[in-house]
Structure 1
Amino acid sequence: MAKDHSLQIDETDLKILKILQEDAKMGVKKIAKQVGKGISTIHARIKSMEQKKIITKYSAILDPTLLNRSIAAFIFIGLSTKVSGKKGVLSQKEFCKEIAQHPYIQGVYLLSGEFDVVLKVRAKSVDEMRGFIVDYLREMPSIERTQTTFVLEEYLETLELKDLER
């Protein structure tokens, strides 16, 4: 039976997390006021959630279209069924770790089903994306096949967990 690895957190922690998801730059004093707890309590709870890895990172969300990264695609990858370690063929885990280092990659997900991995990729142009797929991906010995789906329009992209509950 699979274990539940989720941590038990209370309503105060949930309120803090919701606030930080909306504005990670908000100061402890302001969070304390919104939550209705003391500054030292809020500070201690945030530190505790960081230590428990509930909060793993604070980050700015950038608009890729304003930074000349308007081409987005999901690339589905079928990995080689050959034995890993032979002639440059990597295991699924090794492949995911290696591909995650490429600067165009925004997400790497191991899948079940027809494909083994899906990548979320951003590029400056269709030609740059083509180069990434044809000149980089298809030259990797671990990859047997790819299927690319270009994003035409984004309606939602978030890292926020909207349904946080106890």
Structure 2
Amino acid sequence: MDEIDKKLLELLQIDGKKTLQELAEAVNRPKTTIASRIKRLEDKGYIMGYKAIVNPFLLGYQVLAFVMASVRRGEVKGEKPLQEQLAEKILADCSGKGDLPFVEEAYIITGPYDLLLKVWARDIKQLSSFLVSYLASMPDIQRTETLMVLEIVDDWRRRHMPAVAGP
């Protein structure tokens, strides 16, 4: 990855709708060169995809919380660790298409907890139901701790990741 690739990644993170012409002008290279560079960045996995970034509050999600969950220790069921299986189940169940909140992100973490979930709920009642009914009904989850977000200072939607190095 050279400086032009890094600049392209930065420009596309700031505005993914930029045209090839605009990108070419920004880095002073021909459109065909830019098109092949972007294709290579996609093929190598630097660019994972393109999508619209929506405002959760305008879609009716008024509560943001981070939920940490401790998972039961024991034998592995299947090919994946239990933490990963639970995270995938929660993400699938909580896709925002029912009574459950939308779980935007799930991580397997170190420390006293095993999972970290970024949860968007329509209101406190929906979050409460998720914690008290849904998660509590899972026998492999031993305990949870919930951190309520009072104010968002900044998040990934407004920031871009600098391309500092490549493999």
TM-score by length of 2: 0.87
Query: Is 1:158 aligned to residue 149 of structure 2?
Result: no
Query: Partner of 2:136 in structure 1?
Result: 138
**1:123 is aligned with what amino acid?**
A
The within-5 A match list for 1:6-155 is 9-85=1-77, 91-101=82-92, 102-103=94-95, 104-155=102-153
TM superposition shift of 1:112 = 0.7
For these two proteins, the number of residue pairs brought into alignment is 155
- C-alpha deviation, 1:27, in angstroms: 0.7
Segments of structure 1 that go 5 or more residues without pairing to the other structure are: 1-8
Secondary structure in 1 aligned to 2:58?
A: helix
Q: Tell whether the 8 Å contact from 2:10 to 2:162 is kept in structure 1 after alignment.
A: no
- Match of 1:129, as an amino acid? L
For 1:98, give the aligned amino acid.
K
Give the TM-score normalised by the residue count of structure 1. 0.88
Deviations 1:105-129 (A, max 9, x none): 1110111111111000001100011
Say what the alpha-carbon RMSD is for the aligned residues: 1.6
Structure 1 segments of 4+ aligned residues over 6 angstroms from their partners = none
**Residue pair 2:14, 2:160 contacting (<8 A) in 1 also:** no
The one-letter code matched in structure 2 to 1:100 is L
Gaps of 5+ in 2: 96-101
One-letter amino acid of the structure 2 residue matched with residue 81 of structure 1: R
Separation in 1, partners of 2:154, 2:23: 26
Identity %: 32
Alpha-carbon shift at residue 82 of structure 1 (Å) = 3.1
CA distance in structure 2 between the aligned counterparts of 1:77 and 1:128, rounded to whole angstroms: 18
For 2:12 and 2:140, locate their aligned partners in 1 and report how far apart those are by CA, in whole Å: 40
Encode CA deviations 1:103-155: one digit per residue, 9 max, x unaligned: 11111011111111100000110001111111111111210000001100001
Letter in 2 for 1:17: L
> Partners in 2 of 1:161 and 1:19 — Cα distance?
9
User: 2:75 and 2:40 mapped to 1: Cα distance?
Assistant: 43
